[in-house]
Amino acid sequence: LSENSDYNITVFSRGEKMKKILQAITSLLLIIVSNCSSWRKSELPHVVSWTENEDTALVYKIIFEERSSWNPLNGTTIKASYQTVLKIITIDSKENKVNQVFEKTFDTWVLPGMVFYKKGGSEILMISGTTQDSFGTEDRNIIKYNKDSDSTKVLWSAEKGKYLWKILPSPDGQIISFVTTESAASMVNAQLHFIIGSEVKSVNIDEWIDSPNFGLSWEKNSKTIFIRKNEKVEKVDIANLKLVKASSFPDCFYPGTNIGSIHSPKNNELIIGNFNGLDTYKLQKHEGAIYFSNIPRVSKFSGKECY
């Protein structure tokens, strides 16, 4: 370059170059550490659980904290501090208004789809976890929460050799059925249990898979429950607790009882959004949804979808 050049050339020694590189690496590490150590609030989508009445529903969401993993190859975030926010709402479809009449926060997660409430009642039935540290773990309890006394009762607690899959209360609310297997990985040695008063009675049903082709459905009179295992359907009469083949059965095994569906008795669906930090509600028709009381009895599945 000539003496009149406008360029300035800075020459670094080998030691200075290494110092600059180390400073850059340190700055990058500080950014990564800061991002990984910062917990931020997050949540799962709302879940709606209708009562047996068109104007009352239970709405809940699972909230938690998460942060980035130290190892980006994990492909997910680290999550903790799970809680469940549960609300009971009333819906005035004519005025297009939704009123919240009750709210409770539980210091654990609940299993989506496994929360039930009858209009006007004081008790809420659910499957809940036993820890805030992780979601959907094998340690699961059947919980009955009394909103009037703000008290919780454990109806069934996780036992060694029994993995809890689902619960389904009878239409009259007097019986709670639930399914267990030996573990989450083992689908054999399945049992169908019934909580009747203070007793728990059990029937062996051989196998259970977490699949749409496996399900439970109560008779409207609460005297019989059907068990679907693929194209095979059996039933248990509560009076004798014997498992026998069913010659006729529900064409749809959802919702399986008169509460807990994501659709209302008149086949409405509640769409929940958020605006400026507040929940918003919109009621819309869900064509094709089948309410429990309208489920036909068949001898062979039609193959239609059930909502």
Could you read off the pLDDT tens digit of each residue along the chain, which spans 307 residues?
A: 444 545 455 555 666 767 767 766 665 555 555 555 688 999 999 999 999 999 999 999 999 999 887 766 666 788 899 999 999 999 987 877 899 999 999 999 999 999 999 999 999 999 999 888 888 888 899 999 999 999 999 999 988 778 999 999 999 999 999 999 998 888 889 999 999 999 999 999 999 999 999 999 999 999 999 999 999 999 999 999 999 999 999 999 999 999 999 999 999 999 998 877 788 888 888 888 888 987 889 999 988 888 8
pLDDT recorded at residue 32: 54
**What percent of the chain is helix, strand and coil (3-state, nearest 5)?**
10, 50, 40
Structure tokens at 59: 């709405």
Cα dist from 290 to 91, 209, 250, 254, whole Å = 20, 23, 11, 8
pLDDT number for residue 10: 54
* E strands in 182-285: 188-196, 199-207, 214-218, 224-229, 232-237, 242-245, 249-250, 268-275, 278-285
Q: What pLDDT score does 1 carry?
A: 45
Question: What are 9's two structure tokens?
Answer: 């050339």
Q: What are phi and psi of 293, to 5 degrees?
A: -70, -15
H helices present in the chain, as ranges:
14-37
At residue 33, the pLDDT reads 52
Residue boundaries of the structural domains of the chain: 14-298
Kindly indicate whether the domain formed by 14-298 is annotated with CATH number 1.10.20.
no
What pLDDT, on the 0 to 100 scale, is given for residue 26?
64
